[in-house]
A and B are shown apart, each in its own frame.
Chain A
């Protein structure tokens, strides 16, 4: 059927096109909506302030990242300490 309609140059139904376009754009919009909550930059700044009290690190050495799976959220905080003794 698919091959036949392809050979006959039959056009895809517009409702099918609509559904596919929606699925793509909404998948994109949902991730950009939820990927980085508003508090992440503030969290990163405050963590940096606390850590630099004890260890001197560069602002870029702290990475804060939130990952969302179906029913699970993982907040990943990565702090790279400088090499060798200070």
Chain B
């Protein structure tokens, strides 16, 4: 049975799509057949971040409305062998999504032997976000070390535990993972940014990883390459660790402590 993972946050601009792209790519790199689905109907962007925007012909809504076969809408990723992208519709509105249709698509994906279905949720708590989380087995709650993001994450956690199919059927609850992005150890040290411990104490769910604030994230999205492929970059390593932890490996947290610049670095100001 395919495992369904929703990448959600409530707040916009915290890194859901960046995370969905890199997390799904990471699972595929590790050999798992994975599909990543954009639920942001009307404002799709996963295709741009994945670099497949010019290859989108059909989308999720076409499949839900039975206008095309699922195979016709799945876009094979150019970087990973086992990865497929299902884009959102740019022209319809969010009301085009419905539980029956989404459930049927997931069922078909499971029959195609997909191991992981990663759902990139839109911001907010409207239909798109509710549909993205409805069938989830696990959730990556993307949070920035900033008050509005933490508050919205708390709200989303409340919905994961009450509005999802697992909650409604009284099954084992959705497994929630805290994923902190745009973390800046220097500012945390200076007392001007919430620390991992602060966020963890407030949201009280298990931390799966911390992605440091990094210029590479923008460089990657500029080129349409998921940041996990940016070899050697800290954000890339952080996402690889997150995927490893998700698959049950024990990896210590990295990029969370302040690194004092070395003598030469200070002298020449190299980055």
**Chain A residues with a Cβ under 8 A of chain B:** 13-16, 18-19, 21-23, 25-26, 29-30, 33-34
Partner of A18, one of B158, B190, B194, B201: B194
Which of B33-41, B147-155, B218-226 makes up part of the contact surface?
B147-155
Q: Can you list 9 residue pairs at the A/B interface with Cβ under 8 Å?
A: A13-B191, A14-B191, A15-B191, A15-B193, A15-B195, A19-B202, A22-B147, A26-B151, A26-B202
Verify B191–A16 contact, CB threshold 8 A: yes
For A23, list chain B residues within 8 Å (CB): 202
How far does the Cβ of B224 sit from chain A's closest Cβ, in whole Å?
35
Range of interface residues on chain B? 10 to 19
How far does the Cβ of A8 sit from chain B's closest Cβ, in whole Å?
16
For B192, list chain A residues within 8 Å (CB): 13-15
A-B pairs with beta carbons under 8 A, tally: 38
Verify B151–A25 contact, CB threshold 8 A: yes
Q: When chains A and B are docked, how far (Å) is the Cα of A29 from the Cα of B151? A: 9
Q: When chains A and B are docked, how far (Å) is the Cα of A76 from the Cα of B124? A: 35
Main secondary structure of the interface of B (DSSP, over half): helix
Other A-B pairs beyond A18-B146, A22-B151, A30-B158, 12, CB < 8 Å: A13-B192, A15-B193, A16-B191, A18-B194, A18-B198, A19-B194, A19-B202, A22-B150, A23-B202, A29-B151, A29-B154, A34-B158
Verify B154–A30 contact, CB threshold 8 A: yes
B164-204 interface code vs A (CB 8 A; 1 in, 0 out)? 00000000000000000000000010111111001001100
Specify the chain B residue showing the minimal Cβ separation from A37: B162
For A16, list chain B residues within 8 Å (CB): 191
How far does the Cβ of A35 sit from chain B's closest Cβ, in whole Å?
12
Q: When chains A and B are docked, how far (Å) is the Cα of A51 from the Cα of B255? A: 63
How far does the Cβ of B217 sit from chain A's closest Cβ, in whole Å?
23
For A34, list chain B residues within 8 Å (CB): 158
B58-97 interface code vs A (CB 8 A; 1 in, 0 out)? 0000000000000000000000000000000000000000
